[in-house]
Every structure is written in structure tokens, then in C-alpha cells.
């Protein structure tokens, strides 16, 4: 005779719920253990850090676009944990007051050039002015990173109490001699000319006889238009076109040694920068180099386009600066450097470091790289028309 087993009472808790509770209980215990051991099990979202930057460029200039490009890289790479807002020149302080504003913490950072701080310490301009012993701007960046330049800039800022962390970025191509009412055929044509430049180029053009006035980018064309200047240089085909140079001049002299190796400077207030997590500092350092490469590629594309537009749409006539003027620039520069080095030990130290690096790097470059003009003429120069 079969015996019926007693009926089981239904469980008060469904198996799925019981399993879920065990899982949650185990997870909670694990979290508590992790916290007890000092390891956070769950990373909570941090409040984004906001930095306010200012550039030394008007919004219309491609240089301000480069500043925005850099900020976007930081914002994207940190996933919004660090957000940089970039304002144009004059939004908080005048362009030439950027270093003071960043050093004091009025601004968290900025995008400019070292030549604009020339008045603080003339050796600063060695990072942006002059022939740099034949180096182009990319070589100067190589010296800055690998040849001791970065350490020298830190030393330089420490000497003047600059409370900033500085990064160099963005190799600029050789800058034009400038925009004029008529072509500059000989060095004597510069004598008495009311001319705009900045940095140690002030000393160079002054020694060559010009009456120099240093103005920020946004003020140059109005000064030319009002006759306050007879000539001026700024930087490149895109910037010059956007700022309106072809509206006040139709003559541009290409090639010069006054700024043949200039770069941008990205600065952070030192206290604000040092307070950042190491991860963000690493992102910033890498974003500087990424922005530098991107800027150099964008410059080739945009400058070459605007160079064509200046000639074909704006009717600008370009002339190569005569070799005699270029040679006089080099000779004059030698005198300026020698005098500055006599009274400024840091100037001498930086100049000697650049010279030693350039002797090796420029020799290698000239011996190794092809002559681009030969290849260009082969592919693009038009053959002379045949006589009938």
C-alpha cells in the first residue's frame, strides 16, 4: 500500500528572489570589504573642473581657432571632467597682459606667444624671435622638448616670479617681412618706416632703422588704415587675410629671419595646474602635442588656400625679400644677441643651448632632405611658350 508523502509547504520566497537577495547580499558584503580595505568599488561621477582661458587673438583670426581646437581636445579626452572655455583677446585682459592674468589666477590659462611677454624678460623672446641659427619652428620644438629648452623656460619664469606652467605648441612657418605701400628693395627702404612687430624683432627692425611700434594682432590693420603705420608684419596668409591686411595694402614681402621659428605658448596658472589629478596632467601634456600636430597640418591646408586667394581674389602682389636684406638681418641679429648676452646670463645660457642644438640639427636637415623647389618645378612649372 502506497503511502502518501506529506505535502510540502510552498516557499514564502520564490527561488529567483532568494537568489537575487543572496547576490545582492554578497555584493554588499564585497563592497563593505572593499571600502574597509581602502579600495572604492564604485567610482562616482566627479564634479567637472572648469578652467577659463583667454587667447591673445581676436575671434576672426585662425589663431583663436587653434586655441579652440586645443580646448576641444582637452574637453573630449577628459570626457568633460576638465572643461576649458576659451575667450578671445580683450574679453578679460588686453592681449599683452595675458601672462600677468594667468600668473595671478585672474585667468586659469591662456593661448598666446612668448614674444608678447618680451617686456618681462627679453630672453623670453628667444623662444619665438630671430633666425634661431637656421632652425625652423619644428626644430625649435625639438630643442624645447629634447634639447633642454623646456627646463630653461622653467628657469626663466622662476627668475621673474611667473606663477605659470608653460607648454610650447604649433610650429609656425617662416613669417613674411611684412605688408608695405611699395616693395622693399633694399635695407635702406626700412629707415624711418613706422613699422609693427613684436619680441626681439623690435630690436632687429629698430637697429635696421625702422620706427617700431608693438601692437597686438587686432590693432594692426586699423593702425595701417589710419596712417599710424607705414608697414607691418603679423604672421601668415590666413591670419593676414582674415584680419584685413589686403584691404589696406597690396604689397607683401615674403621671407624674413625676424620670426622664422615661432611657436604658440599654452599657459596654465601653476597653482590650478598642480591641483589637478595626475591623469589630467598627463592628458594635458599629450593634448598639447596632439594639438600641435593638428595645427601644423591645418596650417598647410588653410594657409596655402588663402595664399592663392590673396593673389587671385585680393590682387595682392607678393615679392621675395632680397637676399641682401636677409643677410643684413643675420648680421644685425648677431650684434643684438651679443649685447643682450653680456647683461643677461639667462639670455646667454638659452642662446648657447639653441646654437649647439641647431648646429647639429640644421646640418642633418640640410644634408638629408630634398630640395622641394626642384621637385615642384619638375611637376608644376609651366614650360616656356614655343615661338612660332
pLDDT digit string (tens) for the chain, length 388 residues = 444 444 444 444 444 444 434 433 444 444 444 344 444 434 445 689 999 999 999 999 999 999 999 999 999 999 999 999 999 999 999 999 999 999 999 999 999 999 899 889 999 999 999 999 999 999 999 999 999 999 999 999 999 999 999 999 999 999 999 999 999 999 999 999 999 998 899 999 999 999 999 998 889 999 999 999 999 999 999 999 999 999 999 999 999 999 999 999 999 999 999 999 999 999 999 999 999 999 999 999 999 999 999 999 999 999 999 999 999 999 999 999 999 999 999 999 999 999 999 999 999 999 999 999 999 999 998 765 555 4
User: Is 209 in the same domain as 343?
Assistant: yes
Q: Is residue 378 part of a domain?
A: no
Distance CA 57, CA 60 (A): 8
Q: 242 and 98, same structural domain?
A: no
Same domain as 92, residue 216: no
Answer whether residue 78 is part of any domain: yes
In a shared domain, residues 356 and 252: yes
Instruction: Indicate the pTM of the whole model.
Output: 0.85
Q: Quote the CA–CA distance of 147 and 76 in Å, as a whole number.
A: 31
pLDDT at site 384: 58
In a domain, 382, yes or no: no
Q: How far is CA 224 from CA 107, 152, 189, 236, 288, in A?
A: 31, 37, 17, 17, 34
Residue 196 assigned ligand-binding role: yes
**Together in a domain, 334 and 361:** yes
**Domain around 62:** 49-172+262-300
Residue 197: strand, helix, or coil = coil
Query: Into how many domains does the chain fold?
Result: 2
The answer to whether position 17 is within a domain reads no
141 found inside a domain = yes
Residues 161 and 183 placed together within one structural domain of the fold: no
User: Which residue in 236, 227, 226, 159 sits closest to 193, CA to CA?
Assistant: 227
Specify the DSSP class assigned to residue 180.
E
Q: Give pLDDT, residue 45.
A: 53
* 76 and 130 both lie in a single domain: yes
Q: Based on the domain organization, do 133 and 280 belong to the same domain?
A: yes
In the block, cell 588656400 appears at 305
- Is there a binding annotation on residue 219? no
Same domain, 155 and 138: yes
> Rounded CA gap, 12 and 18, in Å?
10
* CATH number of residue 70's parent domain: 3.40.190.170
Q: Which residues pair with 6 in a beta bridge?
A: none
246: helix, strand or coil: helix
| Cα 268 from Cα 25, distance rounded (Å) | 47
- CB–CB of 260/131 below 8 Å? yes
Judge if 248 and 268 occupy the same domain. no
**Pairing relation of β-strands 109-112 and 263-269?**
antiparallel
State whether 211 and 117 are in the same domain.
Answer: no
CATH number at residue 336: 3.40.190.10
Specify if 167 maps to a domain. Answer: yes
Residues 68 and 103 occupy one common structural domain: yes
DSSP 3-state of 108: coil
Q: Is residue 225 part of a domain?
A: yes
354 known ligand binder: no
| Closest to 217 measured CA to CA, from 193, 242, 192, 200 | 242
Q: Please report whether residue 373 resides in a domain.
A: no
Amino acid at each position: 500500500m502506497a503511502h502518501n508523502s506529506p505535502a510540502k509547504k510552498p516557499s514564502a520566497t520564490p527561488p529567483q528572489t532568494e537568489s537575487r537577495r543572496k547576490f545582492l547580499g554578497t555584493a554588499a558584503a564585497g563592497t563593505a570589504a572593499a571600502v574597509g580595505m581602502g579600495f572604492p568599488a564604485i567610482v562616482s561621477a566627479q564634479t567637472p573642473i572648469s578652467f577659463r582661458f583667454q587667447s591673445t587673438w581676436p575671434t576672426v583670426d585662425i589663431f583663436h581657432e587653434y586655441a579652440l581646437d586645443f580646448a576641444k581636445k582637452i574637453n573630449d579626452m577628459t570626457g568633460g571632467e576638465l572643461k576649458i572655455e576659451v575667450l578671445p583677446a580683450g574679453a578679460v585682459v588686453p592681449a599683452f597682459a595675458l601672462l600677468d592674468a594667468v600668473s595671478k589666477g585672474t585667468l586659469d590659462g591662456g593661448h598666446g606667444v612668448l614674444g608678447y611677454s618680451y617686456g618681462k624678460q627679453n630672453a623670453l623672446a628667444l623662444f619665438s624671435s630671430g633666425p634661431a641659427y637656421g632652425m625652423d619652428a619644428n626644430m625649435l620644438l625639438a630643442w624645447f622638448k629634447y634639447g633642454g629648452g623646456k627646463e630653461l623656460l622653467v628657469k626663466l619664469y622662476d627668475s621673474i616670479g611667473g606663477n605659470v606652467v608653460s607648454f610650447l605648441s604649433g610650429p609656425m612657418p617662416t613669417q613674411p617681412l611684412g605688408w608695405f605701400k611699395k616693395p622693399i628693395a633694399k635695407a635702406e627702404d626700412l629707415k624711418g618706416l613706422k613699422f609693427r612687430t613684436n619680441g626681439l624683432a623690435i630690436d632687429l627692425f629698430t637697429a635696421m632703422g625702422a620706427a617700431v611700434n608693438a601692437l597686438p594682432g587686432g590693432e594692426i590693420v586699423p593702425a595701417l588704415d589710419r596712417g599710424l603705420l607705414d608697414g607691418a608684419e603679423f604672421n601668415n596668409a590666413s591670419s593676414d587675410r582674415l584680419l584685413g591686411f589686403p584691404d589696406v595694402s597690396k604689397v607683401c614681402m615674403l621671407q624674413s629671419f625676424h620670426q622664422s621659428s615661432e611657436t604658440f605658448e599654452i599657459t596654465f596658472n601653476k597653482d590650478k595646474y598642480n591641483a589637478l589629478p595626475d591623469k589630467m596632467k598627463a592628458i594635458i601634456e599629450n593634448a598639447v602635442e596632439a594639438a600641435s600636430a593638428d595645427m601644423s597640418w591645418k596650417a598647410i591646408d588653410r594657409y596655402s588656400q588663402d595664399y592663392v586667394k590673396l593673389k587671385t581674389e585680393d590682387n595682392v602682389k607678393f615679392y621675395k625679400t632680397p637676399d641682401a636684406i636677409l643677410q643684413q638681418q643675420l648680421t644685425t641679429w648677431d650684434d643684438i644677441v651679443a649685447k643682450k648676452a653680456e647683461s643677461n646670463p639667462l639670455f646667454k645660457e638659452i642662446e648657447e643651448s639653441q646654437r649647439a642644438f641647431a648646429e647639429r640639427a640644421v646640418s642633418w636637415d640640410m644634408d638629408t632632405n630634398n630640395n622641394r623647389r626642384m621637385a615642384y618645378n619638375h611637376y608644376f612649372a609651366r614650360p616656356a611658350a614655343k615661338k612660332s
